Structure 1
Amino acid sequence: MNTTTTSTKLIRDALVLTMDPVLGDIPQGDVLVRGNRIEQVARNLPSPAGAEVIDGRGMILIPGLIDSHTHMWQVPLKGQGTGLWGTADYQKHVFPLREKFGAIDMKDACFAAGMEMMDNGITTVLDFCHNTMTPEHAEESIAAHRRTGQRVLFAYGMLGSHQTHKADHAWRLAQVRELAADLGSSAHDSLIRLGIAVASLEYSSMEMVRKEVEMGRELGLPMTFHQNPPGQIHALGEAGLLGADLLPVHANVATDAELDLLAACGAGISFTVEGEFGGGRSMSVVGRAHRAGVTPSLGVDVPSRITMDLFSQMRLTYNVMRAEEATAERIAGRWPLARHPGTPHIQPRHMLEYVTVNAARAVGRGDELGRIKPGYLADLVLLTPGHYGMSLGDPAAHVALMSTPADVHTVVVNGEVRKRAGELVDLKRAEAVEASRRVRERVLGAGKGSPAPAVAESVA
């Protein structure tokens, strides 16, 4: 697939939410895209000769949504994780299936995931690929990402099977070095870039983790890691391994002192609120991180259980955070709720920041993604206001709390139109459905037209 473009496009007369503090919101705004970069953002821009004009009247233009943590290989397992009860259920019924995935299954799964995400306005994703069971698994996953045209940070998973994790470490390190020459940060405008999904400390040793982080920094690669048991952020800090290039995920058990450590080095946290909240975890960490200056971003995490939809993640996160604030007010004896300085702290616009500005920083591209701003990469989503029109008040609140994937009208990635007037360009949804079916047939033994067996039944 051609990942660059020399064409010129003018998006005309949209309500432009630039997410830039200087440019602000621009009613009836225009955005000029030349090649794969945004050239101008203003009202009443002249149309260059030969430019493709995209009519944005009555619609909202936002930066492309960015998911900072999803295991894309799980898309064919959609529904397999419903009805789970806590981490033990997930570890028993979903995660072990990765060892049944062959390299061709990874290719089909990542292709299906990328299509669905892009259809839903997610132009960039950090694919936390903790299913690199062989070198071919990584190669086929990357091949699938190239086909979809989505922007992907492919976070190479360093965690192997429990039986072979230590023995496989050397070839994983070697393959990362090989891939880095092709997909490293030096490939400035590449749609597919390489990162490292550092092995979880509960399954690995600090010595092995150190090797991974030091290699990542040597190669200039963004890194991320699952942070589940308590004390791990503190341990990484003591080992001198924390940094803005190392993104914790979940971190529900992080102490305020650990959040201060992250803030001091400019780090963020990727929260996957639906999975965390639905899995019974403490959610106070999101608000505590926000107040501490640890920039939150959002991810879908497990498509085996959660739909590939960042609009629903924004809504749920907002309500979870408001509920946490309200609980604190009740405990303090301030009831019924009343406004006072600093409360409520969380606003709907923060949610849109989480999946644009903050998420761009989380994937290591805060200087060129997440805003509609001259010089930034042209990843854009044009939304209709829905069948019944625009809501009153802050338009960012409409996007965060009232929009759905059904409102995604046009998607531009790297200056290329990937979805136009509600239909994907050059890709058919049926292709993704068929790719998932093939994986289910090979991995689960589900025949054509047959759904995968429901985990809830086996749990009961």
Structure 2
Amino acid sequence: MSEGRILLKNGTVVTLDPELGDISGGDVLINDGRIEQVGQEINAPDAEVVPADGMVIMPGLIDTHLHMWQHPMRGLGQDVWGFDDYSSRVFPLRERFGPQEMYEATYTCALDALNNGTTTALDFCHNVLTEEHAEGSLRAHRETGQRVLFAYGMLGREDRLVEERQSRLAHVARLHNELGSDKTNLVRLGLALTTLTFAPIEDVRVEADFGRSLGLPLTIHQNIHAEVFRLHEAGLLGSDLLPVHSNNITDAELRLLASCGCAISFTTESEHSGGLQMSPVGRADRAGVLPTLGVDAPSFTDPDMFAQLRATYNIMRATEAQFERQEGRWPLRRYEGSPYVTSRRVLEYATVNGAKAIGLGDELGTLTPGKQADIVMLGTGLTGLIAGDPTNYIVHYATSRDVDSVLVAGRFRKRGGRLVDVDLDKLAATAAGLRSKIIGDA
């Protein structure tokens, strides 16, 4: 659904389309949910004109790894120290969720992220304890207006993984028939494979083969050394499979991913705070693997992709500078190819690359005529846009508080700083009640 013809007028348009570039005093014409025209002084007398003076108009942000069900546990994860701590103190709270709690958690998280400029999210739902749990999350997704790839988690209760696998896959097939495979649908279905930590490769193969038989995008946590090699040896790597984290990945494994057109979802803030290696982001990019960005778990990371952009840039710069010191090139000096990371490149991780990683590269990621009108209008504060490349403003100066308006498929989901058709008091009350119910005495 769309709101007819809309003309976003006189903003700084960051298209991320290499042919269109950035357009100062630019316009974006939207028609029937898609971008019809991008340029200056567009004449569209039948369109609703939305002034964008002093604003940045940019592609919507794409989060490729978000555990939406953990939204009511916000803040709880800040006290954990290491994976064992998380596994014993945070993850077991999943048992306190029923279908209604899944609905409420997904609804509040999606609107939180949408309010922050995330127009598309891959909801890696690894709390599908029953079919009704999945249905609860999907019910929320149908209501928020956010574009979502719902990755149905194959990780149920550990003691029932084998016996429940076939019934889960049967449920996935039914949901696929219900949701369809049209890429323009706001709610699409994917498959979150069981992590190799919990299942042998042959069981993961059953899941992957089934998902591929339906044409579903696949994703998998990649936490343990040499898992990419294991996936390769089993013939499971492909451009439709999105590994997540991959902080222990070797250069040889990166070459394997590059050879099959894979991307990786890096959740920079959560990985860095957890003490994991951060060099794989830049190494992946140099190797030809598409880096994408995700928030990970709202239990310890805010669903704010602007924070991920800034953290990723700064961590990559620090990692690159450390390498220069180790090589004896200090103080820092510019030379061809150094520094590698730029604001524009990092912004592409959360737009262009993210779209490609979830199979929507032809539909999203740039403000190109013909693509879906998933757009963020970003205010520039009291003193306006900074000098130089406008992507520097987006990555280093803007925050989620600057998100003035958000459109998904040409429809305003946030406008003038306020979510559209959302009772904010009710939303806050729902979040507070759910938090009390889930956290309790945890």
Normalised by the length of structure 2, the TM-score is 0.98
Q: Give the corresponding residue for 1:355.
A: 350
Q: CA deviation at 1:6?
A: 5.5
Q: CA deviation at 1:429?
A: 2.8
Cα RMSD, aligned residues only = 1.1
Distance 2:250 2:243 in 1: 13
- Unaligned residue ranges in structure 2 (runs of 5+): none
The correspondence of residues 367-406 of structure 1 with structure 2, limited to 5 A, is 367-406=362-401
Q: Give the corresponding residue for 1:57.
A: 53
Q: Give the corresponding residue for 1:174.
A: 170
Q: CA deviation at 1:437?
A: 2.2
Matched, 1:192 2:187: yes
Q: Give the corresponding residue for 1:117.
A: 113
Matched, 1:287 2:266: no
Match of 2:41 among 10, 23, 44: 44
Q: Give the corresponding residue for 1:413.
A: 408
Match of 2:30 among 19, 28, 33: 33
Q: Give the corresponding residue for 1:223.
A: 218
Change (3 A) 1:79 1:286: same
- Equivalent residue letter for 1:150: Q
Q: Give the corresponding residue for 1:341.
A: 336
Q: Give the corresponding residue for 2:69.
A: 73
Distance 1:162 1:438 in 2: 29
Distance 1:398 1:32 in 2: 24
- Equivalent residue letter for 1:310: M
Q: Give the corresponding residue for 1:457.
A: none
1:398-422 C-alpha deviation (Å, 9 max, x unpaired): 1011100110011101111111110
Q: CA deviation at 1:162?
A: 1.1
1:87-140 C-alpha deviation (Å, 9 max, x unpaired): 111111111111221111000000000110111000100000000000000011
Q: CA deviation at 1:390?
A: 1.4
The correspondence of residues 266-285 of structure 1 with structure 2, limited to 5 A, is 266-285=261-280
Distance 2:349 2:426 in 1: 31
* SS at structure 2 position matched to 1:81: helix
| Counterpart contact for 2:73–2:438, Cα < 8 Å | no
Q: CA deviation at 1:305?
A: 0.6
* SS at structure 2 position matched to 1:249: strand
The correspondence of residues 313-328 of structure 1 with structure 2, limited to 5 A, is 313-328=308-323
Seq. identity, %: 50
Distance 2:73 2:415 in 1: 28
* SS at structure 2 position matched to 1:164: helix
Q: CA deviation at 1:176?
A: 0.6
Matched, 1:165 2:161: yes
Distance 2:383 2:7 in 1: 27
The correspondence of residues 128-139 of structure 1 with structure 2, limited to 5 A, is 128-139=124-135
| Counterpart contact for 1:131–1:137, Cα < 8 Å | yes
| Counterpart contact for 1:156–1:196, Cα < 8 Å | yes
Q: Give the corresponding residue for 1:149.
A: 145
Q: Give the corresponding residue for 1:19.
A: 16
Residues paired across the two proteins, number = 442
- Unaligned residue ranges in structure 1 (runs of 5+): 447-452, 454-460
Distance 2:389 2:81 in 1: 37
- Equivalent residue letter for 1:391: I
* SS at structure 2 position matched to 1:281: coil
Distance 1:6 1:318 in 2: 36
Distance 2:426 2:236 in 1: 42
| Counterpart contact for 1:115–1:432, Cα < 8 Å | no
* SS at structure 2 position matched to 1:430: helix
| Counterpart contact for 1:39–1:374, Cα < 8 Å | yes
- Equivalent residue letter for 1:75: H
| Counterpart contact for 2:72–2:438, Cα < 8 Å | no
Q: Give the corresponding residue for 1:456.
A: none
| Counterpart contact for 2:2–2:411, Cα < 8 Å | yes
1:42-90 C-alpha deviation (Å, 9 max, x unpaired): 11111232x2111111110000111000100011100111121111111
Distance 1:363 1:433 in 2: 31
Change (3 A) 1:409 1:287: same
* SS at structure 2 position matched to 1:26: strand
Q: Give the corresponding residue for 1:102.
A: 98
Distance 1:361 1:22 in 2: 18
Matched, 1:183 2:179: yes
Distance 2:241 2:173 in 1: 18
Distance 1:114 1:284 in 2: 30
- Equivalent residue letter for 2:275: G
- Equivalent residue letter for 1:5: S
Q: Give the corresponding residue for 2:243.
A: 248
Q: CA deviation at 1:323?
A: 0.8
Distance 1:100 1:170 in 2: 25
Distance 1:196 1:429 in 2: 32
| Counterpart contact for 2:10–2:53, Cα < 8 Å | yes
Normalised by the length of structure 1, the TM-score is 0.94
| Counterpart contact for 2:73–2:439, Cα < 8 Å | no
Distance 1:388 1:92 in 2: 47
1:368-405 C-alpha deviation (Å, 9 max, x unpaired): 10110111001000001122321111100110111001
| Counterpart contact for 2:351–2:366, Cα < 8 Å | yes
1:13-47 C-alpha deviation (Å, 9 max, x unpaired): 11111111111111111111111111111111112
- Equivalent residue letter for 1:290: D
